[in-house]
Structure 1
Amino acid sequence: MEYFILKHLPAIILSGITLCISSSMLQAETVTPQAVIANYTQLAHAEFSDALASAKILQTKVNEFIAQPTEASHQAAKQAWLAARLPYSQTEVFRFGNPNVDAWEGGVNAWPLDEGLIDYVQADAYEHEEGNTFATANLIAGTETISPELLKSYQEKGGSEANVATGYHAIEFLLWGQDLNQDPKLAGTRPSTDFLTGAGCTHQHCERRAQYLKAATDLLVTDLTQMEQDWAPDQTNYRKSLLALDEAEALRRILFGMGSLSLGELAGERMNVALLAHSQEDEHSCFSDNTHADILGNVQGINNVFHGSYRRTDGSLLKGASLAELLAAKDKTLSTELEQNLNTSQTAAEAIVKAAQQGQAFDQQIVADNSEGNARVKATIAALRAQTVSLEAAAKALGINHLNSETSDSLQ
């Protein structure tokens, strides 16, 4: 299950490490706030374009799997899902500061989910939100016609955020199934025969399960198309409205997004909550054991914005005016400090990835008796907190007071 990440993660995400250049090499005097803001919109469009393109590949592989459910076609669909997460995880830095992304994100990346809403679960290994009346609804075993519209109608049904019917993690659950940890080195082990119509179908309702997987994947492509268009050039869209903002407000949105992903979301909700509970139910990609890649992708996304650079999935490098240059013109020492803190966070996240590549997934690194794994996660959380302090200082140096990045109750 991990070999795709083993093969491709260094080339796609870790290649971004080369972007961490010394502030002494930057030509800060030539960079303007407007140039930085314009390049930020270019980065957003490129990253969402790559996320969309990879989702379309996933869609193709899912369609092939549904048409002929075999171990090989199942594995190909799972590989495509893992590949699709690589560019998407880097886009999350655009979320918190931009209301269009923040309002949209819940439909494509919500987690954790009460998977009994969607399909069968092993009851004695199923933890769900207390009081969630839809936690065992099992839409696939039901009679309602499965369509993207039905899935959207069940998203946060009854006001519960645990009712996740759409997006990457609903698709992930359908491809992998529950991760029961019967072997700590294995992720979910859903059989391909769960999608085999007619004789040989396992766990019943195979045709409806295939319909659900297709509807969820098609909806993901539709949603990513919308966001790609929201950042496309030369259109009346969010990108145009951002470029029309006062420079200080646009920079505030950029820095707020970086700080909020760094502190409240990644350090807090995605890492510290899972660590404190020592629970895989609280990890991000719990069915596929891909959480380590999600973490590193988020860290890389913050680095992308700071350096004004993005390594595209085709290997090409997009680079333009950067916050690093703009900040160096105001306070070279602070720019160097922030860069060092970003590098420390990346190194710490890479240690989590390295352990996962050696067979110790994130859900094993956070168990109570794994002191070394806990220490790696704690070091990454501490580094993310430190870089957020530097981001707050950077905002002030650029004339933005009281950035107030979003935090998490778990970090209080």
Structure 2
Amino acid sequence: MYRRITLLSSLALTATSSFAAVTEQQVVEHYADLAHAVYEDSLITAKVLETKINALVESPSEQTLAEAKQAWLDSRVPYQQSEVFRFGNPVVDDWEGQLNAWPLDEGLIDYVDANYQSELGNEGAVANIIANEQVQVGADTIDTQRITPELIASLNELGGSEANVASGYHAIEFLLWGQDLNGNSSGAGARQYTDYVVGDACTNNHCDRRGEYLQATAKLLVSDLAWMEQQWADGASNNYRSELLADSSTTGLRKMMFGMGSLSLGELAGERMKVALEANSTEDEHDCFSDNTHNSHYYNEQGIYNVYTGMYLRADGSLLTGPSIHELVSQVSKEEAKEIQGQFDQTRTQVRQLVYSAEKNNTHFDQLIASNNAEGNQLVEDSISALVAQTAAIEKAAGVIGITSLNPDTADHEF
């Protein structure tokens, strides 16, 4: 992790170098290239995750569980960098809930602790699909005997509750780690590999169905990512990329900058940090089962940085570069470009402190937001403030290149 962050940090120097003149259209085209590369990497790493999950189910052991967990962590790196494409691009926003919805009432999927606190009024909160071949939610009876990707997809928002999340990264995370019952204390979920051992050694019952559910969810994740990767692929005449590039470059730039600002402000600063901090709620942290929230936040920020600088460090270690918004700003005003780039660098450095807190000090995001942790609260507050300042820099950059009234989404938060 440190090596990757160090390498990413060095890219900031590249971003401030002088470039030959670029056009708005070239910048939008490279944005599509970035999106395709990120989704391609998300697909590649999800396929590895599926392979490791199949190995776990076929031969449960401490090692196969650990390898599946690591594959999940690896898969989050490119996917979290993809979220900057969600805002401004309806094709992504309409699709992403099946992959990354949270927080979830995990009792919908599997067994939970007796003290489990679900969303008020959610009739599916403890349906436990794995334990039951038929579930009743309100007036509806659902046949869950055969666990398939199609069934799992159909169960999202069951009974009208957004907390009923049956698929995606966080469903897989829960099935690999189990509930994190440590509250604001140190420690992640501690699911045993024996939850997947079929036969007398099975723990917590229904190990065969638990394995079926995990495999079906992984298969659905791969299928969903394969579809989105094709939406950004070059050479197709009827995908989203062709639609984006057929529109005006000004519209493309607005989508780019609206996406950056909305992820920076309403989503990352607001929904993912401010909500959890103000409620001191571990249920509202993003990767709550694995205690990987610090990385998810950091790679969200990295995704914003990628779009501004036109750079993306791929999963295979290669660096994708191309025409960027930074270059467009620099062509108008080198002084303002330097100032804006400086704010991006400051914000990324600040959000990276969440990673250092977890990896160097073993103090994770769920501990930082505890009501009795003034120092940790301040670290999160400082990260929120840095993201707010970054959003102002995004709006300033937009103004420099002629994109007015950007109005990034605040998600109804006040900063």
TM-score over 0.5 for the alignment? yes
> How far apart are 1:14 and its partner, in Å?
4.4
Match of 2:250 in 1: 248
Match of 1:6 in 2: none
Match of 2:206 in 1: 205
Match of 1:5 in 2: none
Report the AA paired with residue 131 of structure 2. Answer: A
Partners of 1:296 and 1:150 lie apart in 2 by: 33
Change in 2 beyond 3 A, CA 1:344/1:183 = closer
The alignment's TM-score, normalised by the length of structure 1, stands at 0.95
1:39 to 6, 30, 38: 30
- For residues 251-281 of structure 1, the C-alpha deviation after alignment (integer angstroms, 9 at most, x for no partner) is 0000000000000000000001000011110
Change in 2 beyond 3 A, CA 1:377/1:245 = same
| SS of residue paired to 2:320 | strand
> How far apart are 1:182 and its partner, in Å?
7.1
Matched, 1:77 2:68: yes
Match of 1:164 in 2: 165
Report the AA paired with residue 360 of structure 1. Answer: T
| SS of residue paired to 2:384 | helix
Match of 2:123 in 1: 133
Relative contact order higher in (CA < 8 Å, ≥ 6 apart): 1
Partners of 2:328 and 2:187 lie apart in 1 by: 46
Partners of 1:80 and 1:23 lie apart in 2 by: 31
Match of 1:18 in 2: 10
**TM alignment of 1:220-235, pairs within 5 A:** 220-235=221-236
Change in 2 beyond 3 A, CA 1:18/1:282 = same
Report the AA paired with residue 147 of structure 1. Answer: T
| SS of residue paired to 2:312 | strand
1:368 to 366, 371, 377: 371
Match of 1:406 in 2: 409
Match of 1:382 in 2: 385
Matched, 1:261 2:263: yes
CA RMSD in angstroms comes to 1.3
- For residues 204-243 of structure 1, the C-alpha deviation after alignment (integer angstroms, 9 at most, x for no partner) is 1110000000000000000000111111110121111111
Partners of 1:138 and 1:26 lie apart in 2 by: 57
Between structures 1 and 2, the one with greater helix share: 1
Partners of 2:332 and 2:70 lie apart in 1 by: 45
2:89 to 98, 117, 139: 98
Check conservation: 2:184, 2:367, Cα contact below 8 A.
no
Match of 1:3 in 2: none
Using the aligned pairs only, state the percent identity. 52
| SS of residue paired to 1:30 | coil
Match of 2:195 in 1: 194
Structure 2 unaligned blocks of 5 or more: 134-143
1:281 to 280, 283, 287: 283
Change in 2 beyond 3 A, CA 1:85/1:14 = farther
> How far apart are 1:331 and its partner, in Å?
2.6
Check conservation: 1:33, 1:247, Cα contact below 8 A.
yes
Report the AA paired with residue 42 of structure 1. Answer: D
Check conservation: 1:155, 1:166, Cα contact below 8 A.
yes
Matched, 1:178 2:179: yes
Report the AA paired with residue 17 of structure 1. Answer: S
> How far apart are 1:23 and its partner, in Å?
6.5
Match of 2:138 in 1: none
Match of 2:104 in 1: 113
Partners of 1:76 and 1:373 lie apart in 2 by: 31
Match of 1:347 in 2: 349
Match of 2:54 in 1: 63
> How far apart are 1:183 and its partner, in Å?
8.9
> How far apart are 1:128 and its partner, in Å?
1.5
| Aligned positions, number | 402
> How far apart are 1:22 and its partner, in Å?
6.7
> How far apart are 1:185 and its partner, in Å?
2.6
Partners of 2:344 and 2:77 lie apart in 1 by: 19
| SS of residue paired to 2:34 | helix
Partners of 1:148 and 1:362 lie apart in 2 by: 32
> How far apart are 1:399 and its partner, in Å?
1.6
Partners of 2:273 and 2:113 lie apart in 1 by: 26
> How far apart are 1:11 and its partner, in Å?
3.2
Change in 2 beyond 3 A, CA 1:356/1:329 = same
